[in-house]
Amino acid sequence: MSILTPAEARVDLDAVRHNVALLAARAPGAEFMAVVKADAYGHGLLPCARACLEAGATRLGTAYLREALALRAAGITAPVLAWIIPPGEPLEEAIRQGVELSAGSRELVDEIAAAARSAGSTVRLHLKIDTGMSRGGATLATWGGLVDRALAVQAEGLVEIVGVWSHFACADIPGHPSIDSQLAAFEHAIKHPGLSGAVRHIANSAATLTLPQAKYDMVRCGIAVYGLSPVPELGDFGLRPAMTLTARLALVKRVPAGSGVSYGHLYHTAGETSLGVVPLGYADGIMRSATNRVQVLAGGRRRTIAGRVCMDQFVLDLGDDLLTSGDEVVLFGPGDENEPTCQEWADSLGTITYEIVTGIGSRVPRVHLNQRPGNAQQGDRQ
């Protein structure tokens, strides 16, 4: 007997592999870092990381050390870079596990060097320059001092400067003037003679697909790996959305005309109808702003969510269609079967696909399709 899950996010690893190959072909000669932060953008860290490596990614990128350490704990040995390092992080553990670290301040270089000394090994370090995003990284004014500090601890054998990098603020806005000025600042910063052997990297998904001059020695792709367009105005670039979010109707019942539906009665039935209850809510990442707005596919038809999205559930007006509890509802997917896409959800909610897929909660199991033998290994959570 198989147990039906009330809701699940199916992740097609063949789509992930297709996307990695497509993106790598757009950056010939460059290394490919698959960005797997935030549980691989909600798609499941370990199966996605392995699928990316199977498809030719040579490195993985995470925001936090604990994400990089989760890769190591599962036996993944590929180079991993973690780039957000607030005070108090387990630096020594990361260094022992061979996680590559980023630093954009002299203070952090010193902390990392001290941790390398206690760990008794050399850290592979990427120096980050703020070329105009004004978020992480050293400003141009402090860059020289940062590089000098890093070269000094490199001379002591504590660090090896393996990368020099930056991040675009507006790569998803084609023609934005900041793109050229960030590239010019990057060119200037990487000219420092002490950095000649370092891997230079600045391109995210949008830059990989639209700015060939920004590929340098490596590209760092996140959203496009999962098949979602980083620049929706320019189309899908041939990417395949990997995730299909589904649920099974928990209940179907007839109600009379004029029934007020869900909290606040923001929806009223026009005539006698069938209502279907879908067991997903804002605790699962179905934003409350999807109320009376976003469409899903049920019984082969698009239907708009009827009334307020609740914490654990929302309601559909099924009309006279013969649906029963247990029938599948597709919230979004690649769009092949007339189901809405995550991009459509993002457009109707006034957000970006990143926020939708990373917001899907931990109650929703990720089910990985087209897993290769050896991919599912001990230590995987799903």
Residues tagged active-site: 37, 263
Task: Decide if residue 220 touches ligand PLP (CB under 6 A).
Answer: yes
Question: Which of 73-81, 106-114, 198-206, 372-380 is the region at the interface with ligand PLP (rule: CB under 6 A)?
Answer: 198-206
Residue from 35, 309, 310, 329 that binds ligand PLP (CB under 6 A)? 35
Minimum distance from CB of 26 to ligand PLP (Å)?
12
Contacts of ligand PLP in 78-97 (CB under 6 A): 83
Enter the tokens of residue 139.
């400003």
Retrieve residue 156's tokens.
Answer: 């002591």
Least distance to ligand PLP from the beta carbon of 362, Å? Answer: 20
Q: Are 42 and 63 in contact (CB under 8 A)?
A: no
The answer to whether the beta carbons of residues 46 and 20 sit under 8 Å apart is no
How many residues bind to ligand PLP according to rule CB under 6 A? 13
Of 167, 215, 240, 368, the residue at the interface with ligand PLP (CB under 6 A) is: 167
Please report, for residues 122, 192, 244, the alpha-carbon distance to residue 96 in angstroms, rounded to integers and kept in the order given.
9, 29, 38
- Minimum distance from CB of 174 to ligand PLP (Å)? 14
Q: Please name every residue paired with 200 in a beta bridge, in sequence order, or none if there are none.
A: 164
Among the listed ranges 88-96, 203-211, 245-253, 310-318, the one in contact with ligand PLP (CB under 6 A) is 203-211
Q: Rounded distance, CA 330 to CA 302, Å?
A: 9
Q: Which of 44, 47, 132, 222 binds ligand PLP (CB under 6 A)?
A: 222
In angstroms, give the least distance from the CB of 21 to ligand PLP. Answer: 16
Contact in structure between 37 and 222 (CB atoms under 8 Å): yes
Q: How many Cα atoms sit within 13 Å of 120 on the Cβ side?
A: 0
| Residue placing its CB nearer to ligand PLP in the complex, 230 or 276 | 230
Which of 233, 320 has the CB closer to ligand PLP? 233
Nearest Cα residue to 122 out of 92, 146, 85: 92
Q: Shortest approach of ligand PLP to residue 33 CB, angstroms?
A: 8
Residue type, 42: G
What tokens does 206 get?
Answer: 């949008």
DSSP state letters, 194-212: GGTTSEEEEE-HHHHHH-G
Q: Among residues 7 and 24, whose Cβ is nearest to ligand PLP?
A: 24
Q: Residue-wise over 125-134: b if at least 16 C-beta within 10 A, else e?
A: bbbbbbbbee
Q: For residue 131, how many C-alpha atoms fall within 13 Å in the half-sphere facing its CB?
A: 27
If binding is defined by CB under 6 A, does position 204 make contact with ligand PLP? Answer: yes
Rg (CA), the chain: 23
Of residues 36 through 75, those in contact with ligand PLP by CB under 6 A are 37
Examine residue 307 and tell whether it contacts ligand PLP (CB under 6 A): no
Q: How far is the CB of 143 from ligand PLP (least distance, A)?
A: 17
The contact pattern for ligand PLP, residues 108-147, with x = CB under 6 A and - = no contact, is ----------------------------------------
Q: With respect to ligand PLP, which residue has the nearer C-beta, 25 or 266?
A: 25
Helix (H, G, I), strand (E, B) or coil at 135: coil
User: Which chain residues interact with ligand PLP by CB under 6 A?
Assistant: 35, 37, 83, 167, 204-206, 220-224, 230
